[in-house]
Amino acid sequence: MLCLFSLVAYLATAQEEKNVRITILSTMLADMKGKGEWGFSALVEVDSVKLLFDTGKHPELVLENAKALDINLAGIERLVLSHNHLDHTGGVERLLKEFPSSFAQVYIATGFFTPKLLNGQTPMKSFDSSSYVRSGGTFTVISSFHELLPGIYLTGPVPRIHDEENYPKTTMVKTAGGTKVDIVEEDMSLVINTSKGLVLLSGCGHAGIVNTLEQVRKNFPGKKVIAAIGGFHLLETDETKLTWTANEIKKAGVEYFVGAHCTGLNSVYKIRQIVGFSPAKCLIGSVGMVFDLQKGIKTGWLE
């Protein structure tokens, strides 16, 4: 009986995070404080737990933007890299130097180390994992949906049920069957389970936002995804596919949509229009923008 009570109490705390805050530290658009870049990084705070999801492109920028925004990066417990593109991994080593205890372990998904080739020939410049290891870093590879901390999950590689193809078509990978387009198999997102619904944080969304929403909802039957935040690589998506995507976002029950990084400005506004989001609940993500589960989206001056 006691065990049962303990289990119920554990499940209740795992589901009822009261305070979830996601602050964007790297993306293209910047406001009064901080600088923009082609990259992505976000600080995730769930009650007293802090995580960093991606590290931006320029080695110093996450540190600089955090300083400009008066955000303390000390005490981060987990570092997650959504995938192996330099605009998400650029700050890892610099952050490790600054906060050795926070960034000596990084969570990545299966496929992260598959060598990438530009146009099928030139090796693509990517995260220098051997240098990170020499500096004391270690990797934890996630192969399937995984609970990182109570109530906080990583999707691992996402099954590509729909042909969303939200990845650059010029990057290739070498496989046993020959050279093929890199579908960025390692692309994974972070999910927070709250009593209000699920909060989804994506780096580039190369797995496809609809594929990711479906995988997440399969793991939490009957729960809606209340917020979808981050990069969703919809910047090249044609009208027909974008309309379908927006309708799937609506079906998943999304109430807040923040399209940062590679989502595409016009795509965000098109999604706003199709889903029928109010402007306060569907915005372009900018440096310093905060999603707060209790208070909604806090934008900069520009928006």
Interface residues with Zn ion (CB under 5 A) are 85, 87, 204
Of residues 85 and 217, the one with the C-beta less far from Zn ion: 85
Question: What's the closest the beta carbon of residue 194 comes to Zn ion, in angstroms?
Answer: 26
CB of 23 to Zn ion, least distance (A): 18
Cβ closest to Zn ion, residue 21 vs residue 233: 233
- Comparing CB distances to Zn ion, the nearer of 61 and 293 is 61
Q: Output 27 or 194, the one with its CB closest to Zn ion.
A: 27
Alpha-carbon distances of 296 from 71, 75, 170, 197, rounded to whole Å: 19, 25, 37, 13
Residue identified by tokens 């402007």 is 279
- Return the number of the residue (193 or 202) whose C-beta is nearest Zn ion: 202
Closest distance between Zn ion and the C-beta of residue 260, in Å? 10
Torsions phi, psi of 240, nearest 5? -65, -45
Instruction: Check: CB of residue 155 under 8 Å from CB of residue 215.
Output: yes
Note the Cα 220 to chain centre separation in Å: 19
CB of 61 to Zn ion, least distance (A): 14
State the Cα–Cα distance between residues 86 and 40, nearest whole angstrom: 10
Instruction: Give min distance, CB of 211 to Zn ion, in A.
Output: 15
Identity of the residue, 21 or 85, whose beta carbon is nearer to Zn ion in the bound complex:
85
CA pair distance 64, 193, nearest whole angstrom: 30
Alpha-carbon gap, residue 86 to 84, rounded angstroms: 7
Give the CA dihedral 86, 90, 92, 93, nearest 10 degrees.
120
Compare residues 88 and 217 and give the one whose CB is closer to Zn ion: 88
Residue 201's alpha-carbon distances to 36, 52, 103, 204, 302, in angstroms, are 19, 11, 19, 10, 23
Closest separation in Å from C-beta 45 to Zn ion: 22
Q: What is the nearest approach in angstroms of Zn ion to the Cβ of residue 212? A: 14
